[in-house]
Structure 1
Amino acid sequence: MKIVRSLFLSAILVLTAVLTAFASPEAPTDQEVAQAFQEANTVYEWFEHHPLETDGKEKKDTGYMIYYTVADKDYPTMLALKTRVNECFTEALAGFIISDSRMYREFDGRLYVAPSAKALDPRKGTSTINIVRVSPTRINLEISTPIMEDPVHGKTNVLETKKTIFPYVKTLKGWRFSYFESLE
């Protein structure tokens, strides 16, 4: 009986240590939330408007797209890229971001990028962020983005303000965004 109890207590201690290792702060500060948002935005934009830079040393032509080796040494493989995406977004959203993209591929153990991106929307102005603490496990970032008439031709009248909520939720792996979209 003592052996069973000892094993049970040991298992609880190990489980507690594992969960603690993956936990983020119980209540991140507004500054930490804003920093997490900026990091997530950078990573998300790698799949929208600002792909990782290529060194142009090697290319692979798939018949559909031409891919070039990624210059950033922090992301030598698809696994490294997926790991970074999973650090910012929930598992479901990270999986969607990666699977929906044709921009990145791995060939011969190296990460390649098709350096094409979506066009920026010149009508979008500078966004503002409002942090709302909904519960101990959810923080909403309410983002307001002004949509201007035609700034390319000098018409900067704000036609509307687009409001988007970016939920920042506590998961077993720490705080992650469960919804994201481009602000550009």
Structure 2
Amino acid sequence: MAQPTVARRIVMPRQVWDELTHLAEVLGEARGLDVSPAEIALLALEAGLNEVRQGRPVRTAPARSRQAAKKEGSGRRRRPSQPLKLSADERSELEAFLVEQNSARGRQRTIGLWLGTRRRRIEVEWLRELAVEYDAYNVANFAQNMKKDSAFFKEVRDRDGSRIGWKLTAAGLTQAKELATQALEPA
């Protein structure tokens, strides 16, 4: 007795269909088999499902070398950092600094300066987290903004050359102190 079937459409990228068509032609010429691209797709799907049913791990592409991952920049594993915990007083102090800032870059710089006065090193994730929270995060310009403000921030990298954060420069400490005095002055 044949298994019941379900008539459904499967949508696939054009490139995959072209490859299946090419494979069907090659099998026809080399082996004399008369198979359609849809039949080949069904066989490949069934073979993959059998692997899953038998509990075999799906083979993945070989891991990239450290140098390749380093060059690409994205997809790197970041060193997990402790989540940033701020008290209500710290949050209100930071918000007082941000009142005067109109641009996203200015808010990001101010957040970085404020963090630098509180911590020895400004973690990338901490700065990103606060920048998102205070509407200063722009994916395309996040690192570029920090490079433009290199007079205030010195980049810190690990042994592999990955950016792990920033430290305040002498000019950054001076600027942070000026921000603090401006925020404490009565309006």
Global fold match (TM > 0.5)? no
- TM-score normalised by the shorter chain: which range applies? under 0.3
Richer in strand (by share): 1
Q: Work out which structure has the larger RCO, using CA pairs closer than 8 Å and 6 or more positions apart in sequence.
A: 1
What TM-score do you get using the length of structure 2 for normalisation?
0.19
Q: Larger C-alpha radius of gyration, 1 or 2?
A: 2
Richer in helix (by share): 2
